[in-house]
């Protein structure tokens, strides 16, 4: 158990809908990262937060947004969902910005 | 998106054999990490490397941070069936005013008993 908790574990929704994925980082970790992993693909970096502030952005679509709250948990919001958004979404956390990251179990999103 | 190149992409080996995989980049990294991912699970950190030339072991796993800071390798000795999975390298660097983790394309390992 990495200590990073993601909910829900599975999510099935229809095209055009909006969903929110939640991540609770390891206790004491200030940095949260979001990654997308499509079937049999690598990990695509989406966005990073550090202590509530956005620090880095990857290939995140405009339909997607995220935030980190004062209690350090983070949410990834995906809207106007398309079939191609079906993927595993991982959250990772690290204690600072330049230490190793630990991953959650992921949320499997299926858009039908 | 930007990714590191890992090779081989996949490999089948016999149980008991040693395995070697590597990761290369055109950019310099300050930290190299190696993760293993089982199907449907999140990546699990295996080894972290922080200095050029550093050689670190974790049980049957050994990884090295390349001298040029643009590559890293992971060796698995005496492979066993539970070594099956996808191995990802990740480079960590401070670029454009921010820290970034970049992941490799993955090496899929299958062990034949």
pLDDT band at residue B101 using 50, 70 and 90 as cut-offs:
confident
Instruction: Name every chain A residue with its beta carbon within 8 A of the beta carbon of B30.
Output: 98
With CB atoms and an 8 Å threshold, state whether B94 touches A98. yes
With CB atoms and an 8 Å threshold, state whether A102 touches B45. yes
Do A108 and A11 meet the contact criterion of CB atoms below 8 Å apart?
yes
B10, B34, B42, B88: best to mutate for the A interface, most A CBs within 10 A: B42
pLDDT tens string B20-48: 999 999 888 989 999 999 988 999 999 99
pLDDT tens string A40-78: 778 888 999 999 999 888 889 999 999 999 999 999 999
pLDDT tens string B46-62: 999 999 999 999 999 99
How many other CB atoms are there within 10 angstroms of residue B26's CB atom?
8
Residue % of chain B over a pLDDT of 90: 73
Interacting residues of B3 by C-beta distance below 8 A, sequence separation 6+: A42, B102, B103, B104, B105
With CB atoms and an 8 Å threshold, state whether B33 touches A100. yes
Q: Which of B19, B18, B6 has the alpha carbon at shortest distance from B103? A: B6
In the sheet where A64-68 sits, what is the strand order? A5-7, A19-24, A74-78, A64-68
A55 touching chain B per CB within 8 A: yes
- So what's the pLDDT on residue B40? 84
Q: How near does any CA of chain B get to the CA of A13, in Å?
A: 19
Q: How near does any CA of chain B get to the CA of A43, in Å?
A: 6
Q: Is the pLDDT of residue B15 over 80?
A: yes
B93 compared with B49, residue with greater pLDDT = B49
Q: How near does any CA of chain B get to the CA of A100, in Å?
A: 7
């Amino acid at each position: 158990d990495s200590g990073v908790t993601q909910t829900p574990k599975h999510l099935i929704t229809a095209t055009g809908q909006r969903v929110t994925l939640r991540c609770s980082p390891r206790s004491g970790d200030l940095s949260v990262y979001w990654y997308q992993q499509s079937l049999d693909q690598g990990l695509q970096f989406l966005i990073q937060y550090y202590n509530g502030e956005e620090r880095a952005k990857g290939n995140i679509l405009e339909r997607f947004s995220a935030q980190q709250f004062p209690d350090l948990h983070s949410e990834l919001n995906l809207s106007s969902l398309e079939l191609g958004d079906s993927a595993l979404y991982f959250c990772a956390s690290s204690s600072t910005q330049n230490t190793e990251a630990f991953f959650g179990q992921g949320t499997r999103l299926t858009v039908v | 998106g930007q990714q590191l190149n890992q090779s081989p992409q996949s490999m089948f080996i016999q149980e008991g054999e040693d395995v070697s995989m590597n990761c290369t980049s055109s950019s310099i990294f300050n930290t190299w990490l190696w993760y293993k991912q089982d199907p449907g699970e999140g990546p699990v950190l295996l080894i972290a490397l922080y200095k050029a030339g550093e050689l670190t072991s974790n049980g049957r796993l050994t990884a090295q941070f390349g001298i040029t800071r643009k590559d890293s390798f992971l060796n698995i000795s005496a492979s066993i069936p539970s070594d099956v999975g996808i191995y990802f390298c990740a480079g960590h660097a401070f670029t454009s005013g921010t820290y970034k983790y970049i992941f490799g394309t993955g090496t899929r390992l299958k062990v034949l008993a």
